[in-house]
Structure 1
């Protein structure tokens, strides 16, 4: 269950990272509230996952999911660069996340 918490925490990390763009410096109420809620949920799920997953592994996976998710979202929704080297780098992050899961001794 800890890995599910961690994956969902990573998705909410993407949500708040993207949400910050829409808050306009936290001057827009609805995007600000949604962003802050995403932050709270993300941190809560990360802390729940860390009960069973080592802190270094959990944090690396959490940030990796966030980094890849936000970068892909940027490519799809904000027309950011889709350069092959950028995509290869993102795939390296994904392989690192998968590797950490494979070598983890927790559930």
Structure 2
């Protein structure tokens, strides 16, 4: 169950990062509220996950899910352009996340 909490925490990290962009510097109230709710949910589930999972494992996986998820959101919904070589490093990040999980 702790791994599920960790994945949920990572997904909420993507939510708050995306809604923060849509808040336009916290100038749009609805997106600003969504950002804060996403942050609270992300930290809540991270805290639940770290009750049982080591911090040295949970934190890098949480940030990795958030980083890769935010990149994908940026490309799909915000029109971000990512150079080909960057995708190589994104793949390395994913390999690192999977490697951390598999070696524990």
TM-score normalized by the length of structure 2: 0.94
Correspondence 1:7 to 2:4: no
Structure 2 counterpart of 1:73: 73
Correspondence 1:24 to 2:20: no
CA apart distance, 1:10: 0.3
Q: Gaps (5+ residues) in structure 1? A: none
Secondary structure in 1 matching 2:93? helix
Q: Gaps (5+ residues) in structure 2? A: none
Structure 2 counterpart of 1:100: 100
Secondary structure in 2 matching 1:24? coil
| Number of residue equivalences | 104
RMSD (CA atoms): 1.0
Structure 1 counterpart of 2:33: 33
